[in-house]
Amino acid sequence: MNNGCLENRKKEHDNSQKRPKSYKFGSKSDDFALAIAKVAVAQLCESVGFQSFHLSALETLSDVSVRYIYSIGKTANLSANLAGRVEGNVFDIIHGLEDLGSNLGFSGASDVDRCVVSSGVVKDITHFVGVSDFIPFAYDVPGFPVVKDWLPAFPDPETYATRLSVENETMGVSNGKKTESKLERVERKMDRSLLNLQLRFAHNENKGGSSHGSGYVATESNPYLAAPLHVGEKEVSPVVLPTKLSNEVALRNPVHVDVGNHVSVLETFAPAIEAMKSGLCDSDNGKKKLLYDQRPTVRFKIGIGKKSLGTISDFGSQNEEDLLKIASWFGNDNEKDDKKRRVEKILKESVESSKE
């Protein structure tokens, strides 16, 4: 299954990337789970008495153990479905365990009409639990599947979890007022979490507006951490600052909402949403303004640089040319115009030189 040495590891890794995606246990998305399985198996091996391991052997054993879990689930699911159930129970799992242990044998396997409850497999496992040492897993494992950083956060569990309980409650006891009040409470809870969700999305959106998220947040929370302004931008900064501040205020509210109390009621969030919405609009306008303001300053700077290079005598024409050239740099005009301008420039220069 695996080769025995490190030298071939790289090659094998390359091969694993070329594997078809249908391969269940070697897919890229499963790397994390396999890594965790490896750690757990290594811990078990250590507890048995091994001092070291070959990587290939450990990988094989963890792969086998993962397949063990998988096939238990497969068999248990099969027997549950065979009995007309969707959710499995203990007996399905015991059935799966017996199925897997059938070639090894267990006590009472030969008995035809034995009860699943008194299965030898379960007794063995009970014995094992009693005998074996308690070894906790070495790391804290986040719940699967792991959400990547760049994906939006999951909504609160209430948004999708309560729907089921609501159904249950309506299906269950018909205790007039009591169920109604319960229902109301649940609905309110759902509303609140939905609201949270919306706010979070809005927050994310706001974050996503800037090209680099974390830096943007830092500049908002602390103006001293903001990127230093250029010399030419002095006039711009007082215009930008108030919008930034308003942004900050608007952003602070939803942050509180996200992190803070889930106990408060819908009404308390209403002003926050208003502020949020207005803040969003403000920030958008502010960005546009910022962009608009920045462009002339940049042009101005380059103009200065060119001016110092150029001769003083034909200041006006040169400056105009420069401006046109800069405009072409900004991609405002297409190539045809550029060519035209070049022709014009050459003509002008020739005329000037002939004058001299």
Query: 38-77: which residues touch another protein (CB under 8 A)?
Result: 40-41, 43-45, 47-58, 60-61, 64-66, 68-74, 76-77
**Interface with another protein, residue 348, by CB under 8 A:** no
Distance CA(46)–CA(44), nearest Å, equals: 5
Task: Identify which range of 137-145, 275-283, 306-314, 324-332 contacts another protein by CB under 8 A.
Answer: 137-145
112, 117, 171, 231: which one contacts another protein (CB under 8 A)? 117
For residues 28 and 178, which CB has a smaller minimum distance to another protein in the complex? 28
For residues 53 and 216, which CB has a smaller minimum distance to another protein in the complex? 53
Closest distance of CB 25 from another protein, Å: 9
Whether the Cβ atoms of residue 100 and residue 72 lie closer than 8 Å to each other:
yes
For residues 115 and 259, which CB has a smaller minimum distance to another protein in the complex? 115
Closest distance of CB 7 from another protein, Å: 6
Distance CA(316)–CA(321), nearest Å, equals: 9
322: Cβ contacts below 8 Å, ≥ 6 apart: 302, 303, 306, 307, 310
Nearest one of 170, 265, 252 to 217, comparing CA atoms: 252
* Residue whose token pair is 């002939």: 354
Task: Identify which range of 130-138, 222-230, 273-281, 346-354 contacts another protein by CB under 8 A.
Answer: 130-138
For residues 60 and 328, which CB has a smaller minimum distance to another protein in the complex? 60
244: Cβ contacts below 8 Å, ≥ 6 apart: 219, 220, 223, 286
**Interface with another protein, residue 257, by CB under 8 A:** no
**Interface with another protein, residue 6, by CB under 8 A:** yes
**Interface with another protein, residue 20, by CB under 8 A:** no
177 phi/psi in degrees, rounded to 5:
-70, -40
184 phi/psi in degrees, rounded to 5:
-60, -45
**Interface with another protein, residue 300, by CB under 8 A:** no
Distance CA(108)–CA(186), nearest Å, equals: 50
Separation in Å, CA 129 to CA 95, 181, 297: 19, 46, 74
Closest distance of CB 158 from another protein, Å: 17
For residues 50 and 329, which CB has a smaller minimum distance to another protein in the complex? 50
Closest distance of CB 11 from another protein, Å: 10
Residues 139-198 that bind another protein (CB under 8 A): 141-145
